[in-house]
């Protein structure tokens, strides 16, 4: 075998192993999350469950386990039914995320907001107009009106 080819074949595995921990280039890396996000509209007119205790949930609370912020099949079915019923009266919804205690405080706020945004994204993709949706993440700074604390509650406004 030509020495140059031998050198090439011997160094290639080392280079591949050495680079295996490097992040893939953006174009090659898998993108599980949608790259299109919908910016939030104005919050004016939306009422917070902190100030009004009589806000009614529009559907059963969506429970999340652990620290995941991906929607499960059950979540998707609930949201698709909600999106279908939204077409009748076109109400406005406040999507409020909550987290269990025990998580670091700032992380819990961001995680609950991220879950609320995932719910909002799915509702928009199934026909709910973005201007009718607003999100908030409470972390574990307040407790929801739900059986568990690691939930997203959709309040009808």
Could you list the residues that contact another protein (CB under 8 A)? 4-5, 8, 11-12, 15, 18-19, 21-23, 32-33, 35, 37-43, 47-52, 67, 69-70, 104-107, 109-111, 113-114, 117, 120-121, 134-139, 141-142
Nearest to 93 by CA among 106, 107, 78: 78
Which residues contact residue 60 at a Cβ distance below 8 angstroms, ignoring those fewer than 6 apart?
Answer: 78
- DSSP-derived 3-state class of residue 154: strand
User: Both tokens of residue 27?
Assistant: 């174009």
Question: Which is closer to another protein, CB of 100 or CB of 117?
Answer: 117
Residue 69 CB, shortest distance to another protein, in Å, is: 7
- Provide the β-strand partners of residue 94: 134, 155
Residue 39 CB, shortest distance to another protein, in Å, is: 5
Question: Which is closer to another protein, CB of 48 or CB of 63?
Answer: 48
């Amino acid at each position: 075998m030509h020495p140059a080819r031998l050198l090439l074949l011997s160094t290639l595995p080392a280079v591949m192993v050495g680079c295996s921990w490097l992040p893939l280039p953006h174009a090659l890396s898998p993108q599980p999350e949608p790259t299109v996000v919908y910016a939030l509209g104005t919050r004016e007119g939306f009422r917070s469950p902190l100030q009004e205790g009589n806000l009614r949930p529009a559907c059963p609370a969506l429970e999340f386990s652990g620290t995941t912020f991906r929607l499960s099949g059950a979540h998707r079915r609930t949201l698709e039914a909600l999106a279908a019923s939204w077409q009748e009266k076109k109400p406005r919804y406040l999507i409020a995320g909550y987290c269990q205690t025990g998580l670091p405080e700032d992380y819990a706020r961001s995680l609950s907001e991220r879950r609320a945004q995932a719910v909002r994204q799915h509702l928009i993709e199934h026909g709910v107009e973005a201007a009718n949706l607003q999100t908030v993440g409470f972390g574990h700074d307040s407790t929801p009106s739900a059986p568990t604390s690691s939930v997203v509650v959709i309040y009808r406004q």
